[in-house]
Structure formats: C-alpha cells, structure tokens
Amino acid sequence: MIHRRIASVPSGRVAWRTMRLVIARCSVDYAGRLTAHLPSAPRLILVKADGSVSIHADDRAYKPLNWMSPPCSLKEGDGSVWTVENKGGEKLIITLEEVLHDSSHELGVDPGLIKDGVEAHLQELLADRIETLGEGYSLIRREYPTAIGPVDILCRDADGQTVAVEIKRRGEIDGVEQLTRYLELLNRDPHLAPVKGVFAAQEIKPQARVLATDRGMSCVVLDYDALRGIEDDKLRLF
C-alpha cells in the first residue's frame, strides 16, 4: 500500500510550462533493449514540461540514475505504479512506496543560457584586431545591417575583396547555414560583390567545417584567451 505524506499537485496547470517534483521511496525498472533495476530507496523524480522523466539520487551531480527522453507518455495507473513509455516501446516502470513530496511549478519560458557574452566579446576583440584573419585585412564595420539580420563583421582582405565573418562560440552547421544566407544577400549588392565568407569560432565541429569548405568559406579557430590577452598598444603613453 502506498503512503502519501504530501500529495499536493496544483490543478489547472498548463502542461507545457509545468515541472513536477516528486520525492518518494520507490523502485524503478527499465524494459527495452536492455533491462535495469533500481531497488527501493528515497529518490527525486522530475517530470519536465517537455515530457521527459528522470530519477535522481542525492549524489552524481546532475546525472540521473535512469530517465526517459521525450516524446514519451506517463500513465499513473492506480497511483502507486507509473509507466513511462516512448515511441519505441521502451518502458520505465516506477513503483512508488511512499511519497514524501509532490508538487508542480510553472517555470515559464526560459531565456536560455548566456555564457558571459563570449560571442559578443569575440566579435569586439576580432574587430579590434582584424589582422588576426590575415595581413592587410581592414574593418568595414561590426554588425553590418541586412534585411535578414546583422552580419557580425564586414571587412576587406588585402586584395580589397569584401569578407563577411560569422562568429560563434561553438561552430556548428546552423552557423554555416546562417553565413550562407548572408552571403547570398550580400552578393546581390554590386558595391560589395563578390563577397566571400569566413566562419570563425572557438571550436568548429567537423561536419560544419566540411560544409563550410564545400561552400567556399574559410574556417578560422579563435583563441578567446589569446585575443583577450593581447596587449593593447593603442593610446599608450609609455
């Protein structure tokens, strides 16, 4: 028989915004390509707004003991057994013995993680040290406006050709696609064309590098700490 010490799930919640926290003594069985069993113990169960369910112990930092990624469905049965099933038929069966806490919370829309403005700072540093891209490079402007958004840096190389630079902290395929759209638009301007592209990032994924190279773009790996640590010889008195 299940014993509920606290069972106060707020009603009227909007599912996609709600996270449910359950602390319970429970056992967990996973049935799928492999099988796994967690014996009875007090644990934290997280049911997130995206539909995922994860079971945590009071250690292992952020890593769950077991989980089911979305899309999946949760059926609570008679209240003591939860069955979480994904589209592949894999199941996570949680047997609740004693519920110590059960609550739901609306977290709202998350703004996302901002990593200390690294991309913006990279743009600023690279614009100030545009010769990092090659000898003879000169800056036209940062945040060059276009109809589909600003290009991080627009500059000219030693031969006077226009260069559009897209800067990312981590260079992935999406960034290459973004630069491709900018180049297609910029190359319609007879005052700028021909415009070549430079994809610059602290780290460039192999797939992104292959795609960028295939589209005629150059890839540049930026050392953020080195750029930041370069001595500034401007306006120096001594």
Q: Determine, yes or no, domain membership for 234.
A: no
Q: Determine, yes or no, domain membership for 237.
A: no
pLDDT (0 to 100) of residue 176: 95
Which residues, in sequence order, are bridge partners of residue 218? 198
The token pair at 153 is: 């840096």
* Lowest-confidence pick of 61-65, 127-131, 171-175, 197-201: 61-65
pLDDT (0 to 100) of residue 111: 63
* Res 163 pLDDT > 90: yes
Both 45 and 134 in one domain: the answer is no
* Res 13 pLDDT > 50: no
Q: Determine, yes or no, domain membership for 236.
A: no
Pairing of strands 218-221, 195-204: parallel
pLDDT (0 to 100) of residue 236: 37
Both 83 and 160 in one domain: the answer is no
DSSP letters spanning the chain: --EES-----SS--GGGEEEEEEEEEEEEEESSSEEEEEEEEEEEEE-TTS-EEEE-SSSTT--SEEEPSSEEEE-TTTTEEEEEETT--EEEEEEEEEEEEEEEE---------TTHHHHHHHHHHHTGGGG-TT-EEEEEEE--TT--EEEEEE-TT--EEEEEEEEEE-HHHHHHHHHHHHHHTT-TTT-SEEEEEEEEEE-HHHHHHHHHTT-EEEE--HHHHHHS---TT---
- The residue out of 45, 76, 106 marking a domain boundary is 106
Residue range 57-84: mean pLDDT, rounded: 86
Which residues, in sequence order, are bridge partners of residue 68? 53
Omega cis (within 30) before 71: yes
Both 148 and 215 in one domain: the answer is yes
* Lowest-confidence pick of 6-10, 41-45, 111-115: 6-10
The overall average pLDDT reported for the chain is 84
Share of the chain above pLDDT 70, in %: 84
| Neighbour-count burial of 162, counting CB atoms closer than 10 A to its CB (0-12 exposed, 13-18 middle, 19+ buried) | buried
Q: What's the pLDDT band for 112 if we cut at 50, 70, 90?
A: low
Domain count for the chain:
2
pLDDT (0 to 100) of residue 238: 34
* Res 144 pLDDT > 80: yes
Which residues, in sequence order, are bridge partners of residue 22? 45, 102
Residue range 203-220: mean pLDDT, rounded: 95
* Res 183 pLDDT > 70: yes
Both 218 and 168 in one domain: the answer is yes
* Res 62 pLDDT > 90: no
Amino acid at the residue 205: K
Q: By the 8 A CB rule, do 17 and 106 touch? A: yes
CA 219 – CA 149 distance, rounded (Å): 21
Residue range 23-35: mean pLDDT, rounded: 91
Residues in the chain: 238
Both 92 and 137 in one domain: the answer is no
**CATH number of the domain within which 139 lies:** 3.40.1350.10
Q: By the 8 A CB rule, do 80 and 95 touch? A: yes
pLDDT (0 to 100) of residue 110: 67
Residue range 73-79: mean pLDDT, rounded: 83
